[in-house]
Amino acid sequence: MKISEAQETVDKWIKTYGVRYFSELTNMAILTEEVGELARVMARKYGDQSFKKDDLNVDMADEMADILWVLVCLANQIGIDLEQAFAKNMEKKTKRDSERHLNNDKLK
């Protein structure tokens, strides 16, 4: 699925099942919450914290999809074409970092 298709799919879902978008501020808070949920699982799986019973069966792919969902909601609400924004961002990174990481001794 293209990013533009994801944006259309989310918009259609919201209009069919969600009644309306939550406010932008509410969605920003939800986005932060969802990132925190992923961070919690990552800290336990890859970091130094031990798992709690509630964290053992958390699906990281689903947590990432939750983040993507809310990000797409925000983009739709404020009129951002994420496909175009991502392409522009990749171009910026490529120009800025074309040799930066290749010449970083810490990465070798």
* Domain-wise residue ranges, the chain: 3-81
pLDDT of res. 30: 98
Distance CA 103, CA 15 (A): 49
Q: What CATH code is assigned to 3-81? A: 1.10.287.1080
Distance CA 107, CA 71 (A): 30
Answer yes or no: are the C-beta atoms of 4 and 81 closer than 8 Å: yes
Extract the tokens encoding 89.
């961002």
**Cα 78 to chain centroid, rounded:** 16
Alpha helices for 1-108 (secondary structure H):
3-13, 24-45, 60-78, 82-97
pLDDT of res. 101: 87
Q: Give which of 9, 5, 2, 11 is closest to 74, Cα–Cα.
A: 11
For the chain (108 residues), the mean pLDDT of every run of 10, in chain order, is 97 96 98 96 90 83 98 98 97 91 87
